[in-house]
Amino acid sequence: MSSKHPCIKDGWFNEVSDKSFPGQAFSLKVNKILFHEKTQFQDILIFESSNYGNVLVLDGIIQVSEKDEFAYQELISHVPLYSHENPKKILVIGGGDGGVLREVVKHSCVEEATLVEIDAKVIELSKKYLPNMACSFKHPKVNVKLCDGFQFLRDVAESGTKYDVIITDSSDPEGPAEAFFQKEYFELLYKALTENGVVIAQASENVWLNLEYLKTLLNTSRSVFPVAEYCYTMLPTYTSGQLGLIACCKNPNTNLIDPCRAPTEDEQSQMRYYNNKMHSAAFVLPTWARKVLNPL
Residues labelled as active-site residues:
169
Handedness of CA 113, 275, 95, 243 (dihedral sign): positive
Rounded CA-CA distance 25/6 in Å is: 15
Buried b (16+ CB within 10 A) or exposed e, 70-108: bbbbbbbbbbbbbbbeebebbbbbbbbbbbbbbbbbbbe
Residue 31 makes CB contacts below 8 A (sequence gap 6+) with 47, 48, 49, 50
SS3 call for 78: helix
